[in-house]
Amino acid sequence: MYQREGNLYADSLNLNKEGIMSKVLIKNIGRLQTPMGSYSHKGKEQGENNKIDNTWILIQDDVIIAIGAENNVPTNLQDVDKEIDAFGGLVTPGLVDGHTHLIFSGFRQNEIVMKLKGASYLDILRAGGGILDTVRHTREASAKELYIQAEEAITEIMCSGVTTMEAKSGYGLDFDNEIKMLNVIKELNEKTKMTLVPTFMGAHAVPPEYAGKADEFIEMLCEEIMPYVKEHELAKYCDIFCENSVFNVKQSERYLGKAKELGLGLRIHADEIDAIGGSKLAGEMKTASAEHLISINEEGLESMAKGGTTAMCLPGTSFYLGAKFAPVREMIKRNIPVAIATDYNPGSCPSFNLQFVMTLGYLKYRMTPEEILTAVTINPACALGLEKEIGTIEVGKKADLVIWDAPDMEMLCYRFGTDLAMNVIKEGEEIE
Ligand code: NIG
Ligand code: FE
């Protein structure tokens, strides 16, 4: 058996060899499919997955220690503590949802009526609703209430195959409430099995007390909240909503510049509705990701390709807003690494169903199943700074895996609306 890190194939299982302490064996894998390597995949590589049929995976504690060769049946199993039968199903890395607004209070189903009367997303926000409506409810909610609502969501999300997700603040918009949200994320990270990557998004909207004073609000975020967030390690990244009627490019540059100075990672909601220069700034500042990009233009595409920024595309939001879909084929053609995520939030995508987002990836972005798998595993893992630990099935990586009630990725992209996750394994432990 080969034990060296990076060596994918083991020719046989010799579990009696000294030094090998086997624990969990996943057997009867019909197809193992995974991107390879700990870097973001762009261009042609976005669509390259490794596929091994009729194989197995061996896990010790929380780490993958061996993977079978094709058509390989493990023998000599006496040291295995536990066997998990994949029943001939597909096994992929645990999915990574790279963009969510997981913590909030108050769904906004009332907006349906306004939308049916013709109000747009920004009309509702400008009238003091939308994000600001959720801000009112989130400010009123206790940390415990926020925790309980998010914990319930996490349980369902994990059972559907997501083992890592990003979570943003941004419905507090003042010191106490932003910190309250980030502390809830911290507690969820400690107490649930989900790995949560926290993002400070104080610049999500201008709160009523700063109406007409967006510059002053940005200064307050940069000088009062962000240093505290950094000092108490409450966030790994900072994000801003760069959009007409919200924050302009200059304000975004100031906010992200401060984040960079403090050593925090960068993201930006860019070109969701209008292309005002957010994606261009993303490339120039080499942000880890730029989000949405529905209206990205030539300048933005060029800048992102040059800066190596990951395009975090959110087709569930396009679907729910009845908007255009981001030009993903063009992005792949131009060597921009693409990730796809849910954007789970109470306004523009009240669904955390990443499997549905994968179907939209195929239907609306015209991505291949291989490109989609890369877009929900290693590419978002890179955008979250976790590429060395997760995002692929390789010896030495965390045993975050999903066994699907499906023979292949095609089935997963095709049967929208049905949860096909049969067994989810997080750091070597079964979730369901
Ligand atoms: O990514 N556009 C800004 N933020 C979220 C929506 C938040 C909300 O409407 O509550 C988004 O779409
Ligand atoms: Fe978002």
Average pLDDT over residues 238-257: 97
CA of 400 to the centre of ligand 2 (A): 25
Ligand nearest to the CA of 320: 1
| Ligand having the closest approach to the CA of 167 | 2
Distance 345 CA to ligand 1 centre (A): 6
CA distance 75 to 360: 41
78 pLDDT tier (thresholds 50, 70, 90) = low
User: Residue 131 CA: which ligand 1 atom is closest?
Assistant: 10
pLDDT at 244: 94
| Mean pLDDT across 179-206 | 98
**Which ligand 1 atom sits closest to the C-alpha of 346?**
10
Residue nearest to atom 3 of ligand 1 (CA): 241
Tell me whether residue 423 is exposed, middle or buried, using C-beta atoms within 10 angstroms of its C-beta: 0 to 12, 13 to 18, 19 or more: buried
Q: In terms of Cα–Cα distance, which of 173, 105, 130, 92 is closest to 425?
A: 92
- Say how far residue 141 (Cα) sits from the centre of its chain: 25
β-strand partners of 269: 241, 291
Residue located nearest, by CA, to atom 2 of ligand 1: 241
Q: Are 221 and 256 in contact (CB under 8 A)?
A: no
**Nearest ligand to the CA atom of 131:** 1
How far away, in angstroms, is 294 Cα from ligand 2 center? 12
Structure tokens at 154: 């996490």
Which value, to the nearest 10 degrees, does the dihedral of the CA atoms of residues 70, 367, 240, 195 take?
Answer: -20
Q: Which ligand is nearest to the CA of 122?
A: 1
Predicted confidence (pLDDT) at residue 29 exceeds the cutoff of 80: yes
Q: Using 50, 70 and 90 to split pLDDT, how confident is the model at 217?
A: very high
Judge whether residue 236 has pLDDT over 70. Answer: yes
> Which of 20-29, 150-159, 237-246, 364-373 is least confident?
20-29
- Res 13: pLDDT: 44
- Assess whether pLDDT exceeds 50 at residue 113: yes
Residue 204 reports pLDDT greater than 90: yes
| pLDDT in the model for residue 148 | 98
Name the residue of 289, 348, 351, 357 to mutate for ligand 1: max ligand atoms within 8 A of Cβ. Answer: 348
List pLDDT tens digits, range 126-184: 888 899 999 999 999 999 999 999 999 999 999 999 999 999 999 999 999 999 999 99
Euclidean distance between CA atoms 158 and 355, whole angstroms? 12
pLDDT digits (tens, 9 = 90+) for 267-321: 999 999 999 999 999 999 999 999 999 999 999 999 999 999 999 999 999 999 9
Q: Which atom of ligand 1 is nearest to the CA of 243?
A: 2
Partner residues linked to 60 by β-bridges: 63
pLDDT of residue 23: 86
Q: What is the rounded CA–CA span in Å between residue 408 and residue 351?
A: 24
Share of the chain above pLDDT 70, in %: 94
The pLDDT of residue 57 is above 50: yes
What is residue 21's predicted lDDT score, i.e. its pLDDT? 55
Distance 170 CA to ligand 2 centre (A): 10
Would strands 50-60 and 24-34 be described as parallel, antiparallel, or unpaired? antiparallel
Q: How far apart are CA 22 and CA 402, in angstroms?
A: 20
| pLDDT over 50 at 377, yes or no | yes
Label residue 73 by pLDDT band (50, 70, 90).
Answer: confident
**How far does residue 163's CA lie from ligand 1's centre (Å)?**
23
The C-alpha atoms of residue 264 and residue 266 are separated, in whole angstroms, by 7
Q: At what angle do helices 143-159 and 175-191 cross, to 10 degrees?
A: 40
Atom of ligand 1 nearest to the CA of 317: 12
Tell me the CA–centroid distance for residue 46 and ligand 2, in Å.
Answer: 23
pLDDT on residue 6: 35
Let me know: does 333 contact 89? Beta carbons within 8 Å: no
Task: Tell the residue nearest (CA) to atom 8 of ligand 1.
Answer: 347
Is residue 15 very low, low, confident or very high in pLDDT (cuts 50, 70, 90)? very low
Q: How far apart are the CA of 133 and the centre of ligand 2, in A?
A: 16
Q: Which ligand is nearest to the CA of 98?
A: 2
Q: Is the pLDDT of residue 432 over 90?
A: no
User: Which ligand 1 atom is at minimum distance from the Cα of 241?
Assistant: 3
Of all protein residues, the one whose alpha carbon is nearest to atom 1 of ligand 1 is 343
Gap from CA of 131 to ligand 1 centroid (Å): 7
Q: Tell me: the pLDDT tens digits for 263-276?
A: 999 999 999 999 99
- Cα–ligand 1 centroid distance for 362 (angstroms): 23
Atom of ligand 1 nearest to the CA of 125: 9
Average per-residue pLDDT in the chain? 94
If one compares 260 and 106, the residue with the highest pLDDT of the two is 260
Pocket of ligand 1 (CB under 6 A): 101, 130-131, 134, 241, 269, 272, 317, 343, 345-348
